[in-house]
Amino acid sequence: MKVPFIDILRYENHFYETVTTRVSELIKNGHFVGGPVVGEFEKAIKDYTKTQFALGCANGTDAIQVALRAAGVEKNDKVLLPDMTFWATFESVVNVGAVPYTIDVSKETLHLTLASVKEGIEKFNPKALILVHLYGWACPETNEIRNYCKERNVLLIEDCAQAVGVKIKGESLFTRALVATTSFYPAKVLGASGDAGGVFSTEQKIADTAKILLNHGRTGHYDHGLIGWNSRLGAYEATFMVEALKYLDQRLESRRNVCKQFREKITHPALKFLSPASDVWENGYLSVALMTPETRPAFIEYLKAHDIGYGTVYPGAMSAQPGAVSHLGGKISHGHAEWIAKSIINLPCFAYMKQEEIDYVIEKVNQFKA
Ligand SMILES: Cc1ncc(COP(=O)(O)O)c(C=O)c1O
């Protein structure tokens, strides 16, 4: 048997048929960029994430850039971010002319902690912080970090690229986020038919500015109140996601079931499966386990030999990337991000993974000779 790390083609039959019918309507009507379906998607994702304002844009990286600018981050401002994230978080800060400062994450939760945020704010006095929620979880101290940033007047931008559908104490992660962003890259839990992203806010002013920025700074058709760029959402992508949203809870349930079975049934001592905090409802984006850096290479070879896909999300710290060198303003490192990068392993996880595929992974992993 061969089990891929991810298979994004496991759709519901009805979903595929509806999307293709709707896309041919778009072509007939010449709706390629924007149009009514983008509004339809924005309303649907706003309702799903339970926020005040939701905007579609071209991708998750642009979404962070739009969010930083709309929240008030300007040239040379200092922005804190975790050392363990996807490169886009780091890159976005530089692209808006600000200066990135990395802070280390916890070895236990793999996320920022209130203590690490406090240390970073004390040491660097930043204008903003990007809190990143990875693996389909939420940072365990999200609400504490939100309150602290408010108290210290630090703008908080939340990178929820992996966290659509995540809840804290039964409440959508997006509901209390001043500004949040996401990616609808096809491999995300809500994936589009190409690149797409979203910007969310609880404040009208931020949402209004974001809307202007992502459409050439437009305040009228040929009136440009700001220097923005073109980050508009395409009509096909919006259509694909309007239909996908109807099945999202079902897809998340299927993913969560994979993570749950791995946690319960993989008993091999070389793998330590992690879970989100007890009050966090995960979306099942990734299955996460830690191994020792010494054991992981042999385990990866074993997975390859048995045709089991895997991920190492992520295999390097941001501050250690060659592209970071000339941009990094400063960092607080305890070596945790580097250690996680060498220890993390992600087993296959996607919606509608078959039970025999799940069983195969469990059986093979349990038979690994460390
Ligand atoms: C944490 C995180 N931030 C930002 C992004 C960037 O999103 P995109 O690839 O849509 O630009 C991604 C996804 O790739 C991500 O996982």
- Residue (of 100, 108, 80) closest to 321 by Cα position: 100
pLDDT of residue 370: 84
* Pocket probe mutation, ligand 1, options 68, 86, 137, 162, max atoms within 8 Å of Cβ: 86
pLDDT in tens, the chain (370 residues): 999 999 999 999 999 999 999 999 999 999 999 899 999 999 999 999 999 999 999 999 999 999 999 999 999 999 999 999 999 999 999 999 999 999 999 999 999 999 999 999 999 999 999 999 999 999 999 999 999 999 999 999 999 999 999 999 999 999 999 999 999 999 999 999 999 999 999 999 999 999 999 999 999 999 999 999 999 999 999 999 999 999 999 999 999 999 999 999 999 999 999 999 999 999 999 999 999 999 999 999 999 999 999 999 999 999 999 999 999 999 999 999 999 999 999 999 999 999 999 999 999 999 999 8
Q: Please indicate, yes or no, whether the overall pTM of this predicted structure exceeds 0.95.
A: yes
- Counting atoms of ligand 1 from 1, which one is nearest the CA of 62? 11
Residues in contact with ligand 1 by the CB-under-6-Å rule are 59-61, 85-86, 88-89, 132, 159, 161-162, 183, 185, 195, 197
Looking at the chain, list the stretches that DSSP marks H as alpha helix, in order from N- to C-terminal side.
13-29, 36-49, 60-71, 87-95, 114-124, 142-151, 204-213, 235-245, 248-265, 296-305, 336-343, 355-366
Cβ neighbourhood burial of 119 (10 Å; 0-12, 13-18, 19+): middle
* Pocket probe mutation, ligand 1, options 6, 8, 57, 61, max atoms within 8 Å of Cβ: 61
- Counting atoms of ligand 1 from 1, which one is nearest the CA of 197? 10
Distance 161 CA to ligand 1 centre (A): 5
- Does 249-366 match 13-245 at the fold level? no
Cβ neighbourhood burial of 118 (10 Å; 0-12, 13-18, 19+): middle
- At the second CATH level, the architecture of 13-245 is 3-Layer(aba) Sandwich (3.40)
Domain borders along the chain are: 13-245, 249-366
CB 140 within 8 A of CB 277: yes
Cα 39 to Cα 157: distance, rounded to the nearest angstrom: 24
Distance 223 CA to ligand 1 centre (A): 31
pLDDT of residue 239: 98
- Counting atoms of ligand 1 from 1, which one is nearest the CA of 134? 1
249-366 maps to CATH 3.40.710.10: no
- Counting atoms of ligand 1 from 1, which one is nearest the CA of 64? 4
Residue nearest atom 10 of ligand 1, based on CA coordinates? 60
Please count the residues of the chain.
Answer: 370
Distance 311 CA to ligand 1 centre (A): 16
CB 346 within 8 A of CB 313: yes
List residues bridging with 115 in a β-sheet: none
Residue nearest atom 8 of ligand 1, based on CA coordinates? 60
pLDDT of residue 289: 98
- Counting atoms of ligand 1 from 1, which one is nearest the CA of 132? 1
- Counting atoms of ligand 1 from 1, which one is nearest the CA of 133? 1
Distance 76 CA to ligand 1 centre (A): 23
- Counting atoms of ligand 1 from 1, which one is nearest the CA of 61? 11
CB 310 within 8 A of CB 303: yes
- 3-30 burial string, b = 16+ CB within 10 Å, else e? bebbeeeebbeeeeebbeebbeebeeee
Cα 154 to Cα 139: distance, rounded to the nearest angstrom: 18
Distance 366 CA to ligand 1 centre (A): 32
Distance 235 CA to ligand 1 centre (A): 20
pLDDT of residue 184: 99
